[in-house]
Amino acid sequence: MKVSSGGAMNNRRKLVIALGAGTLTAPFGSFAQQQGKVWRVGFVSGRKSRPDPTADAVLQGLRELGYIEGKNILMAYRYVGDMRERTAGIVAELVQLKVDVIVSPNLESILAAKLATKTIPIVFLINQDPVAAGIVDNMAHPGGNITGISRLTRELTGKRLELLMEMIPGISRVGILWDANDKSQVLKDFETKARTLKLHLHPMEVRGPTPDLERAFQFAIKERVSAFIIIRDPLFLDYTRQIADLAIKHRLPSISEGSEFVDAGCLVSYSTNLVENSKRAAVYVDKILKGAKAGDLPVEQPTRFDLIVNNKTAKTLGIKIPNSILVRADKVIE
């Protein structure tokens, strides 16, 4: 595929620390005393197995900071996948291994780690507001043994709905592909935003471990939805291609919470940059290994958001993406 840059490239902004980059400075004395030590980093993925783009990007970030697998760092990967009931046990394995840091983009795993250990530092990369999710009490001073990055995924809900309305004038019925086993407030958040925009939201619910995606799409057709939203849930990350194929089959435009879906063939995504976010998590790990206390590092929030358009899919669906969107796009897939 040919990829071209849109006009919004000039508006890209870099990630910043919630209250200033200076607070990430860490003492180097303890690190100097442990030269030659092989650090162990536990990574808990919400996916079934590799490849995991988040895990790969965290490792890439660590390599750029001078860490070499097998020489001065060992990665202990654990995969939750469809075994959510085993999340606590999976996290307990890493605690028993006495890893030096636990990293995870999975909310359930982070909450389990918080309960499992008060001493091993924890670094999160989550879609939710970490204060609302009960992970930390304060963004600037998380306290305890935990810190990380909030991707502000849910805070962009209203913007995604507005983009759908801009792409499809007159739209009134919108589907939302979501995991019915998700106990968070995600559906309520979307329903609240939809009401303010006078949109009717129709949950296209599925359940793991093997989601019945076809049934969800049949429901959407029955409810006469004009487009749908894809939640960036671990359940769906292993099925990006199938979701894209079904969307095209049923001629339903979509907007997703992650670029993985639009890369697979869905229409549009609006989200933070996965690689940049994950590399920032590597910076946190590095600071902690060099002596910083996790609770002293402010939770980071992104200020750059990427709008990606799959124009190839738009043409297949017979949709003309408005120029007002194309000129703002950070990437257009032709």
What does the DSSP assignment read for 2-33? -EE--GGGGG----EETT-GGGG----HHHHH
pLDDT band at 129 (very low <50, low <70, confident <90, very high): confident
Looking at residue 86, what is its pLDDT? 87
User: Which span out of 26-30, 166-170, 230-234 was modeled with the highest average pLDDT?
Assistant: 166-170
Can 36-151+273-301 and 154-271+306-333 be said to share one CATH topology? yes
Looking at residue 210, what is its pLDDT? 75
For the chain, which residues make up each domain, given as ranges? Answer: 36-151+273-301, 154-271+306-333
pLDDT at position 35 over 70 = no
CATH number of 36-151+273-301: 3.40.50.2300
Looking at residue 6, what is its pLDDT? 47
pLDDT band at 90 (very low <50, low <70, confident <90, very high): very high
pLDDT band at 115 (very low <50, low <70, confident <90, very high): very high
At 265-304, the pLDDT tens digits run 999 999 988 889 899 999 999 999 999 999 999 999 887 8
Q: Are 184 and 128 in contact (CB under 8 A)?
A: yes
pLDDT at position 136 over 60 = yes
CATH number of 154-271+306-333: 3.40.50.2300
- Number of Cβ within 10 Å of residue 226's Cβ equals 17
pLDDT at position 23 over 50 = no
At 209-256, the pLDDT tens digits run 678 899 999 999 999 999 999 988 888 888 999 999 999 999 999 999
What is the mean predicted confidence (pLDDT) over 191-218?
90
pLDDT band at 34 (very low <50, low <70, confident <90, very high): low
Looking at residue 238, what is its pLDDT? 84
Looking at residue 240, what is its pLDDT? 93
Q: Is the dihedral of CA 44, 48, 52, 54 positive or negative?
A: negative
Looking at residue 144, what is its pLDDT? 94
pLDDT band at 58 (very low <50, low <70, confident <90, very high): very high
Q: Say which residue, 313 or 232, is predicted with more confidence.
A: 313
Looking at residue 28, what is its pLDDT? 37
> Which of 69-78, 105-114, 176-185, 201-210 has the least mean pLDDT?
176-185
Q: What does pLDDT average to over the chain?
A: 86
pLDDT at position 32 over 70 = no
pLDDT band at 167 (very low <50, low <70, confident <90, very high): very high
Between the CA of residue 272 and those of 79, 151, 196, 265, what are the distances in Å? 23, 6, 24, 19
CA distance 37 to 190: 47
Torsion, Cα 276 279 280 285, to 10 degrees, reads 170
What is the mean predicted confidence (pLDDT) over 182-198?
83
DSSP strands (E only) in the chain = 3-4, 16-17, 39-45, 73-79, 101-104, 122-126, 146-150, 173-179, 200-206, 227-230, 254-256, 268-271, 300-301, 306-310, 331-333
Strand order in the sheet with 227-230: 3-4, 331-333, 306-310, 268-271, 254-256, 227-230, 173-179, 200-206
Looking at residue 183, what is its pLDDT? 65
pLDDT at position 29 over 80 = no
Burial class (CB in 10 A: 0-12, 13-18, 19+), 242: middle
Between the CA of residue 116 and those of 46, 91, 96, 157, 159, what are the distances in Å? 18, 7, 10, 32, 37
User: Which span out of 29-38, 134-143, 179-188, 230-239 was modeled with the highest average pLDDT?
Assistant: 134-143
